[in-house]
Structures are given as C-alpha cells and as structure tokens.
Amino acid sequence: MERGNDTQSSEFLLLGFSEEPEFQPFLFGLFLSMYLVTVLGNLLIILAVNSDSHLHTPMYFFLANLSFVDICFTSTTVPKMLWNIQTQSKVITYAGCITQIYFFTLFVGLDNFLLTVMAYDRFVAICHPLHYTVTMNPQFCGLLVLVSWITSVLHSLLQTLMVLRLSFCTGMEIPHFFCELNQMIHLAYSDTFLNDMVVYFATVLLVGGPLAGILYSYSKIVLCICRISSAQGKYKAFSTCASHLSVVSLFYCTGLGVYLSSAATLSSHSSATASVMYTVVTPMLNPFIYSLRNKDIKEALSEFFRGKP
C-alpha cells in the first residue's frame, strides 16, 4: 500500500467475516433476515404506540423513540454489508466510511441516552408515583429526547471531524464489516494521540455518565421495591421495569464484550463477529423483549391489526 496524497479520493476494503465464496449466500440470507426482522419488529412497536391512546405515556413515548433509533442504527451498517456480499465487492469510499462513522456514533449515542432516560422514567414511576404525572409531563419528556439528540449529534460531529484530520493509505483494508471509529483511528498513519484522547474522554463522560445514572436509578428502584410489604406489589413494581432492565443488560454487556474481545484477541474476524451482537442482534431482540413481556403492547397490536380505532 502507498500513502495517498488525497485521502478523500481513497477507497477502503471492508474485509467482513469470511472470504470463502460458499459462505456468502448463507451470510447474505442470515443478515437480510435479521435486518428485516429488526425493521419490522421496531416498526410494529412504533405503530402500536402511535395507534393506541392508552400507550401515549412517557414510558411508551421513549420506547417508540428507542425503536426508531434502533432501525436507524442497524440501517447504518447492514445494508452496505448486504450490498457488498451481493456484488462480491469489499469496496467502500472514503466519503461512505466517514458517513458510516458519523451515523453509527450518532445512533449508538442515542441508544445510550434513551436507555438512561427510560431508567429515570422508571425511577420516578416507582419511587415517586404521586409526582410522576407532574414530573414526567409531555414538555419535559420532549426536552429529554431533544437534549439526547443534540448531545449525540454534537458528539458524533466532533468524532467525525477528528477522523477527517487523519491521513490514510490508499487501498487500506479494514478488518471489520463497517467503518468502526476505533478501527479507523488505529489504521491511520498520522499521529492519533489527540483522537485517542477525545475517544477516551467522550467514553468516560458519555458512556460512563449515563451508565452511572442507570445504576443509580435501579439501586433506588430496588430499595423502593424492598420496602413494599406485599409480594404482589413487589412483582407489579418489578414487572414495570423488567423489560427495560433486560434491554439495558443486553446493550451494555454486548458492547462491553466487543471491546474486551478486541483487546483479548488479535483476530479481526473475532472482533467483527462480537460486534454483530450489539449492532445487529440487540436492535433485533429489543422489540421481542418489550412485546413478549408487555400485555399493553400485545393488545395494541392486536387492535391495530383488527382495525379497531
């Protein structure tokens, strides 16, 4: 590989999972199925929330936003991967790579913030039920989502601009199925110290902060549930946040697993496979987690398909 004089005219190669031709139809069918299930499942959640007035509450408002973000999140990476498999091409342009980095960082940040906001919603509902309607009013809920979007957009823009200052070799191979931020930084031949520092501090503030908020909210929720005298009351209180807790655990555990696997192994295929868990599998499972455990969602979907107003 030679150093390019104009990085913006470069093309990169996404190595993906396997270079064996016999595996390509299987990979295409697998990821196409997962993508369609993800889009359909999250669209059904959005339709259920919008069509049923009983679901026009803060909890379901945030859930509909999360479903929309999950559709966008998985659409950032999977369609390009499917296109490359179908055309038997590994090429992605520099502009395409930068675009992937921007939107991937944006939507993973939004996922992070929305899960935190949903944890706060459950905290207020369980620990301060008498103040819930006043505290979680529509204006405040809209403000929380707006702040999440603004923060995620600014963070994503910062990270993307930091990548734009780097120089890359022409024809560079990316050991992944999409242009992941850390992979791109480490493949640059220019100095990446400032980029590494920005990623580190952003991770501490924008991942560690929300995670600490989630843990604090649930510690208070557990204490409140323990004070409830009846077993039925405890079950009812816990059931209102069980789905969200499952999604939070899946999101953070899979994300943590990706970076631990990246640090523990030099295999690019192992890292790419681990990334599938939080980029594809988690958005696909979220609708199932919420719909299977939620009678209101199932009733809303049933009425929607029966055509009831």
Tell which wins on pLDDT, 27 or 270.
27
The CATH number of domain 7-306, selected from 1.20.1070.10, 3.40.50.620, 2.30.30.100, 2.60.40.10: 1.20.1070.10
- In this predicted model, what pLDDT tens digit does every residue of 30-47 receive, in sequence order? 999 999 999 999 999 999
Average pLDDT score, the chain: 87
Residue 179 has pLDDT above 60, yes or no: yes
Report the share of the chain in percent with pLDDT over 70.
90
Tell which wins on pLDDT, 119 or 174.
119
pLDDT at 4: 45
What value does the mean pLDDT take over residues 225-237?
Answer: 83
pLDDT at 266: 44
- In this predicted model, what pLDDT tens digit does every residue of 62-74 receive, in sequence order? 999 999 999 999 9
Tell which wins on pLDDT, 272 or 90.
90
- In this predicted model, what pLDDT tens digit does every residue of 122-137 receive, in sequence order? 999 999 999 999 999 9
Residue 91 has pLDDT above 70, yes or no: yes
Determine contact, residues 300/51, Cβ cutoff 8 Å.
yes
